[in-house]
Amino acid sequence: GENVEQHPSTLSVQEGDSAVIKCTYSDSASNYFPWYKQELGKRPQLIIDIRSNVGEKKDQRIAVTLNKTAKHFSLHITETQPEDSAVYFCAARWALGQLTFGSGTQLTVLP
C-alpha cells in the first residue's frame, strides 16, 4: 500500500513569514494529493488539492507543488497569519479511493 512521510512535525514562523511543509509518497500510481487543516478539537477541512497531471496549484496565500518524478509534494503558505495556526495533514490517494495521511505538522504562527 501507500506510505506518506511528512516533515517537519512542528513548525514555528513569525507572522508574515512563509511556511513550507513537505511530504513524500511511495506509490507512483497515486494520482490525487489533498491537504487538510485541523484546528484544535475540530474536524479536518480540505484547504487545497492537486492532481497528478498538474505541477502546481495556487489559491490566494496557499499553494501546492507536486514533483511526480521525485514523488514529493509541498504546501506553501505565504504571509502567514495567527489564524493559520493548526495541524496540517498531507494525503495521497491510492487504490480505490482511500487516502493515506501523513503524520501531521503542527504550525504555530507567532504574532
Partner 1 sequence: GAGVSQSPSNKVTEKGKDVELRCDPISGHTALYWYRQSLGQGLEFLIYFQGNSAPDKSGLPSDRFSAERTGGSVSTLTIQRTQQEDSAVYLCASSLAGGLAKNIQYFGAGTRLSVL
The span of 17-25, 28-36, 55-63, 75-83 binding partner 1 (CB under 8 A) equals 28-36
Q: Can you tell me the distance from the alpha carbon of 84 to that of 78, in angstroms, rounded to the nearest whole number? A: 10
CB closer to partner 1, 26 vs 31: 31
Q: Measured from the CB of residue 53, what is the shortest distance to partner 1 in angstroms?
A: 12
Q: What is the distance between the alpha carbons of residues 25 and 109, in angstroms, rounded to a whole number?
A: 27
Residue 56 near residue 63 (C-beta atoms within 8 A): yes
Pick 5 or 17: Cβ nearer partner 1: 5
d(CA 50, CA 24): 14
Q: Which positions from 31 through 90 interact with partner 1, judged by CB under 8 A?
A: 31-32, 34, 36, 42-46, 49, 51, 89
